[in-house]
């Protein structure tokens, strides 16, 4: 009986240890930096796309309906925060190297670089992550959150975003954030 209690105790300890991950999640990173003055954090609802004003194919409509919101976290680089920028950029890149994020695409155009990754559970995508940085301006992280998003709908979502009549008022907090001073 004592052996069974010991085994159960060890099993619970192992489960507790595994659930306490030492590497921060992207969600934790967003929460920890939302109030930092070097960052801007904005939650943008999917309704910003105003799809009721455009004609969508059934596939596009399905893709749009799987969308809930966009979480944007951006770091604006200036003369005073260069060292912090490098540290934050390394932290984000370390988080995104986690095997749970599947890379879809890399972008490199001189000083600007980016990556598109997904966090998926089987055939359903939990979130699409867009990360881009520029060594003169800063970086931005965008989490596209939804329900029942499917890999085959990603291109449909891109088309919906391109067709959408964006509500400029919803993007007001981001205006001028990356303007050079």
- Of the pLDDT bands very low, low, confident and very high (cuts 50, 70, 90), residue 146 is confident
- Of the pLDDT bands very low, low, confident and very high (cuts 50, 70, 90), residue 11 is very low
10 in any annotated domain: no
DSSP H or E run through 3: helix 2-19
Q: Find how far residue 33's CA is from the centre of its chain.
A: 14
88 in any annotated domain: yes
* Position 177 pLDDT exceeds 70: no
156 in any annotated domain: yes
Q: Which of 10-19, 51-60, 95-104, 161-170 has the highest mean pLDDT?
A: 95-104
69 in any annotated domain: yes
State the chain's mean pLDDT as an integer. 79
35 in any annotated domain: yes
Averaged pLDDT for residues 7-18 = 46
Domain of residue 159 covers 24-174
Nearest to 75 by CA among 171, 178, 176: 178
Q: What is the rounded CA–CA span in Å between residue 8 and residue 123? A: 34
17 in any annotated domain: no
């Amino acid at each position: 009986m004592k052996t069974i209690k010991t085994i159960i105790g060890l099993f619970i300890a192992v489960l507790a240890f595994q659930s306490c991950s030492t590497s921060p999640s992207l969600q934790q990173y967003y929460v920890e930096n939302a109030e930092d003055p070097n960052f801007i954090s904005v939650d943008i609802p999917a309704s910003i796309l105003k799809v009721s004003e455009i004609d969508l194919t059934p596939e596009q409509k399905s893709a749009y309906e799987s969308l809930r919101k966009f979480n944007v976290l951006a770091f604006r680089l200036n003369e005073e925060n260069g060292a912090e920028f490098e540290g934050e950029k390394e932290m984000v890149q370390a988080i995104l190297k986690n095997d749970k994020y599947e890379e879809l695409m890399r972008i490199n155009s001189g000083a600007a670089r980016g990556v598109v990754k997904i966090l998926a559970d089987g055939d359903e995508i939990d979130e699409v992550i867009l990360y881009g940085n520029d060594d003169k301006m800063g970086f931005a992280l965008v989490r596209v959150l939804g329900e029942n998003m499917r890999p085959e709908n990603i291109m449909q979502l891109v088309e919906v975003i391109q067709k959408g009549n964006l509500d400029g008022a919803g993007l007001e907090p981001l205006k001028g954030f990356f303007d050079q001073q």
